[in-house]
Structure 1
Amino acid sequence: MPRILTYNVHRCLGTDGRLSPVRVADVIAAYEPDVVALQELDVGRVRTGGVDQAHAIAQALGMHVHFHASMRMLEEEYGNAILTHRPSKLVKAEALPGLAGKPRLEPRGALWASVKLGGADVQIINTHLGLRRHERLAQVNALLGPHWLGHRACRGPMIVLGDFNATPRSRAYQRLAAQLWDAQALARLPRPTATFPSRLPIFRIDHVFVSRGIAVQRVEAVRTPLARVASDHLPLLVEFQIVRGKASQASMAHIQG
């Protein structure tokens, strides 16, 4: 049964002040995911010792990596990645809109890979949205538009995941939840599970949204002692099945129950 994990790794800087891509990889490896969506990776940056964190983590996990730099400063890069050991291809990696008149906001982006899982090509989009309400809404609208989820190549099972900086009460979250299903809702958890901050998680801002064709079996926020210190976010793991044919989401929920 495929597993996918989203994890804001905070440039591999732990809550103890220690930089360690290896520690981040160890947190991930314990759960043996097929696909990993990472946010806040440094590549060749002086502040983190010039390490290519995306490739370092991928190498430790025995995975290949698709990386998108949402921000570039000379030779330094900062962005998001999709890692997997399954057959995959990068479909798209681009910037998301910011706010007019606010040029100093941190640039945001997304990347989309097609990954072979459970005999199907699953379209996976990883993103890290902005900190301002109107900024996030513009970015969600872009993701729901014709260049991303509305694109003709984005057919079949889809998963959109990452750090949305948006709680379930936000308009950005609600816009996405109107088009896709929150994996936590489908998993019928006794209570929603938060991922931030890692030492005492109270906010649910890291999400996994799925389309028709994905039957969520299990959702878990990774709360191991190592995960609590490796980053300021906890990873969110989703285990799922690919549903064949034109099964409705209601029937998928029934399969889960």
Structure 2
Amino acid sequence: MPRILTYNVHRCLGTDGRLSPERIADVIAAYEPDVVALQELDVGRLRSGGVDQAHAIARALGMHVHFHASLRVLEEQYGNAILTHRPSQLVKAEALPGWARRPSLEPRGALWASVQLGGTEVQVINTHLGLRRHERLAQIDTLLGPHWLGHQACREPVIVLGDFNATPRGRVYRRLTAHLCDAQAEAHLPKPKATFPSRLPMLRIDHVFVSRSIRVLRVETVRTPLARIASDHLPLLVEFQIVHGKGHKPNLVHAQE
């Protein structure tokens, strides 16, 4: 069965203060995912030794990489990526809106790739939303709109995942679950699994949301000793099955609250 994993790698800076893309790759490799969504990657940045972290991790895993820079400063980049060893095509990679009252906030973005899994094209959207409620609401409104999830090419099956900086109690989470299913809820876990902070996880802000043509079989937070120090987030892994015969679009309505 296909596996997908989302992981905020914190520019590969561990809780022990060590920079190591190799360690991040080792955490991921142990679970053999087909698709990996990564957030907070440094590419060519002085602070992390000029390494292209997206390609370094992809090479270690034997995967192709689609990268989108949310932030560019001269030759330095910082952003998110989708990695996979399956045939894939980048559909879209763009900035998300910020909050007009706070133009100095960190830029945010999303990328969408179409990935062949089990003979089916799965639409995978990876994102990392802002820290402020107002910007998150603007960003999720965009993702639910006609250029992303409401786009005619965004047909089932669909997976939206990443670091949403939003707990299940917030409006961002409720807006998404009005149209897609939280993989953790679909797995009927005795207790939902938190992902942040990695040493003592208390918050559930990293999520995987799936359309109704995806049957969630297993959800796991990776809590290995290495995962607890490799980043300040834990990875979230979802194993699933595609239910064939449902070629419709997700039931998305672009509505303001």
Q: Pick the TM interval, shorter chain.
A: over 0.9
Structure 1 position 105 matched with structure 2 position 72: no
Structure 1 position 141 matched with structure 2 position 141: yes
| Equivalence for 1:29 | 29
User: Are the aligned partners of 1:14 and 1:232 in contact in 2 as well (CA < 8 Å)?
Assistant: yes
| Equivalence for 1:94 | 94
SS in 2 for 1:14: coil
SS in 2 for 1:32: coil
Where does structure 2 lack aligned partners over 5 or more consecutive residues?
249-257
Shift of 1:115: 0.0
| Equivalence for 1:231 | 231
| Equivalence for 2:253 | none
Paired residues in the alignment total 248
> Aligned in 2, Cα 1:90/1:246: closer, same or farther, shift over 3 Å?
closer
Give the TM-score normalised by the residue count of structure 2: 0.95
**How far apart in 2 are the matches of 1:101 and 1:6?**
30
Shift of 1:239: 0.1
Give the TM-score normalised by the residue count of structure 1: 0.95
Report the residue type matching 2:56 in the other structure. A
| Equivalence for 1:253 | none
Report the residue type matching 2:23 in the other structure. R
Give a deviation string over 1:84-122, Cα, whole Å, max 9, x none.
000000000000000112110000000000000121000
| Equivalence for 1:45 | 45
User: Are the aligned partners of 1:88 and 1:114 in contact in 2 as well (CA < 8 Å)?
Assistant: yes
Report the residue type matching 1:35 in the other structure. V
Report the residue type matching 2:176 in the other structure. L
**How far apart in 1 are the matches of 2:207 and 2:100?**
27
Structure 1 position 84 matched with structure 2 position 88: no
Question: What value does the CA root-mean-square deviation take over the aligned residues?
Answer: 1.0
Structure 1 position 192 matched with structure 2 position 187: no
Shift of 1:235: 0.1
Where does structure 1 lack aligned partners over 5 or more consecutive residues?
249-257
User: Are the aligned partners of 1:68 and 1:80 in contact in 2 as well (CA < 8 Å)?
Assistant: yes
